[in-house]
Amino acid sequence: MQKMTKDAEPQSDGSAPRSHLMRRLWAQFLSPYRGRLGLAFLFMVALAAAELGFVLLTEWIFSGLQPNENSRFHAAARDVMVWGPVFVIVLGLAQALFFYLSAITSQNIAVRTLRDLQRAMFGRITELDLAQSQDDGSGQLISRFTNDMTVLRESLTRAPNGVRDLVRLAGLVGALAFLDWVLFLSVLIIYPTIGLPITWLGKKIRQLGRSVQRQIGDMTGLLSETLRGQRMVKTYRLEEQERARLGEAFDERYTLLNRLIRIRAANEPVVTVIGAIAIAAIIGIAAFRIEAGFMTGADLVAFLVAMAMLSQPARGLGTLNSVVQEGLTALERVFDVLDRTPAISDAPDAKELSVPNGQPPEIVFDRISFGYGDGPAVIEDFSLTVPAGATVALVGPSGAGKSSVFNLIPRLYEAGSGDIMINGLPVRQMTIGSLRDHIALVSQDAVLFDVSAGENIGFGDLSADQPAIEAAAHAAAADEFIAGLPDGYGSAVGEGGANLSGGQRQRIALARAFLKDAPILLLDEATAALDAESERLIGEALIRLSEGRTTLVIAHRLATVRHADLICVMDKGRIVEQGTHDELVDRGGLYARLAALQFREEVPA
Ligand SMILES: Nc1ncnc2c1ncn2[C@@H]1O[C@H](COP(=O)(O)OP(=O)(O)OP(=O)(O)O)[C@@H](O)[C@H]1O
């Protein structure tokens, strides 16, 4: 385990230290934009210089209008009348220009960084194991792209303002020291008191921000679940219950946001009140200094102008604190995703799986045991040989562990003990890429993306051309209905394939598997009832698809099982029987009972 440095120790509020987050943001995401950052900084310095010029100009103007022997400048009233307005306009223009240039340069860096963070985070999520990316629920992950990015954008665009305000502050503080050092020292004593309450408020804001963001993630999950389940909600008349469930989430969000509003609103008044006390003290001290002849009226005017100009960057820095605190909370959650490492990865000496001439390989399960996470074993002592080119059906009651066996073959999950071997090579010793290249999976919930029908098939082989896609569709008996769609292969299938029927979605998924043309085929037969015509078309396509491949099929219908070379009956994670349909029926065990049940259901139909 990595040794914890003092800096890396969690703070009392349980979060990572801020400096650590900022250093990491710099090293990984900001440092590539060093050049642009330097340019932005230059514009900020130029802006601060223009402001400084303005303060000195004020003193010059007043020394001309109210001559005093103690004055630093001895300007002639005539010069002030002619040149004063000109200088004011020139300096005003310079301020405006440098303000604009520094804003666009620094904010451009902010949005670039945001883009890089999103890319990195999504890249990492795609690398994670199924178990890891499903741990949070999709709502939590999606909220890192939506809510957290919005918060981060606010922080990243406002943080450069903070740097700009610091530079301006430095310039103006220099002017104050130059104008009268005693007054300046008084300011130095009075102003840091502003920092204390602001730091305390910032910490509170950070804690609340974290709760708000977590809650939004939960709510996104709830919303997407309810909206996806509209059909069920309506038919079971659960509208009232769903309104209440979401209502609770909305109430919780209201309470959290309301607390956040109050704390954020307190920030600004605190700064204003302390600022007013400071100014009052300064005027009092200055009166004594002028009376004693250490200062002139022009000095005081310039000093007050500088103080007034200073209040803007000082306030900016005050409110910046809260925005940065919220941004850091969001950043923490982004880094949390970036820091996850996939538990299933290539072994250092992993080999490429290759099957000679695409010949179907033999698959051997050797005493496999497996459980999800820390949960109980859902597969125990599972041993099975699937001969090269054979079709083996897995049957058994719901929850027997059939889908879990499927998950282990492409290493979506890793077996706890035992080995799965393909042509004698354990899957753990292969590169995951080469293993998955040899497997086509057709799951019962045909997964379609919201792109065209042709593109959905094309995911089987990204290099395939249109004729290859059409040939695959033809083999999967999908070409006719696709041709009938408004734009043929270019027709959008809708979110999750919503524009298509269940049978059509299945055939698109089959066409994708045909296109992939992998030597190992994993078929999870659809449990949803299809019409007789779809079932016949899909059944025939499945038989064509499994020809010349080593096929494992989770079978829910006897029609599929009859074609299998071997039927493996599972119950409670174990194999309880193996054999052909006729052998198993004769044996009169679990399979015979399942078969009898299914026949009884199917005969009246
Ligand atoms: N992601 C998961 N996390 C935790 N437990 C799981 C997960 N997926 C499945 N299980 C559990 O593993 C056991 C086996 O489930 P599996 O889906 O493999 O059964 P199955 O035979 O395919 O069932 P069905 O025919 O209903 O699809 C079940 O008890 C289930 O609750």
| Residue 334 phi, psi (nearest 5) | -70, -45
- Mean pLDDT, residues 158-162 taken together: 82
Q: CB of 327 closer than 6 A to ligand 1?
A: no
389 torsion bin: left (phi>0), alpha (psi -120 to 50), beta (else): left
Residue type, 501: S
CA of 399 to the centre of ligand 1 (A): 5
| Residue 553 phi, psi (nearest 5) | -130, 130
Residue 228's pLDDT band (boundaries 50, 70, 90)?
A: confident
Q: What pLDDT is stored for residue 529 in this prediction?
A: 61
Q: What pLDDT is stored for residue 195 in this prediction?
A: 61
The closest-lying atom of ligand 1 relative to the alpha carbon of residue 404 is: 18
User: If you take atom 1 of ligand 1, which residue's CA is the nearest one?
Assistant: 372
Q: CB of 599 closer than 6 A to ligand 1?
A: no
Question: Higher confidence at residue 250 or residue 272?
Answer: 250
Going by the DSSP 8-state scheme, the letter that residue 409 receives in this structure is: T
Q: What pLDDT is stored for residue 378 in this prediction?
A: 93
The mean of the pLDDT values for the chain is 84
What is the three-class DSSP state of 330? helix
449 torsion bin: left (phi>0), alpha (psi -120 to 50), beta (else): beta
Q: CB of 555 closer than 6 A to ligand 1?
A: no
| Probe residue for ligand 1, chosen from 403, 445, 594 as the CB with the greatest number of ligand atoms within 8 Å | 403
User: If you take atom 16 of ligand 1, which residue's CA is the nearest one?
Assistant: 401
- Contact, 425 vs 351, CB < 8 A? yes
Flag whether pLDDT at 147 surpasses 70: yes
Flag whether pLDDT at 519 surpasses 90: yes
CA of 587 to the centre of ligand 1 (A): 27
- Contact, 56 vs 302, CB < 8 A? yes
Q: State the maximum Cα–Cα separation within the chain, in Å, rounded to a whole number.
A: 121
Tell which residue, 448, 483, 455, has the closest CA to residue 469. 455
**pLDDT tens digits, 392-449:** 999 988 888 999 999 999 998 989 899 999 999 999 999 999 999 999 988 877 888 8
Q: The pTM is what?
A: 0.70
Residue 319's pLDDT band (boundaries 50, 70, 90)?
A: confident
**pLDDT tens digits, 473-496:** 998 888 888 999 899 999 988 887
- Mean pLDDT, residues 313-317 taken together: 79
Rounded to 5°, the CA angle 17-22-23 comes to 100
Complete domains list, the chain, with CATH: 20-338 (1.20.1560.10), 448-517 (3.40.50.300)
Q: For the ranges 190-204, 435-449, 530-544, which has the lowest average pLDDT?
A: 190-204
Flag whether pLDDT at 35 surpasses 90: yes
CA 136 to chain centre: 11
- Mean pLDDT, residues 227-253 taken together: 85
ipTM of the complex: 0.95
Strand partners, 420: 365
- For the chain, the distance separating the N- and C-terminal CA atoms, rounded to the nearest angstrom, is 62
Flag whether pLDDT at 4 surpasses 70: no
Flag whether pLDDT at 284 surpasses 70: yes
Cα separation, 490 vs 505, in Å, equals 15
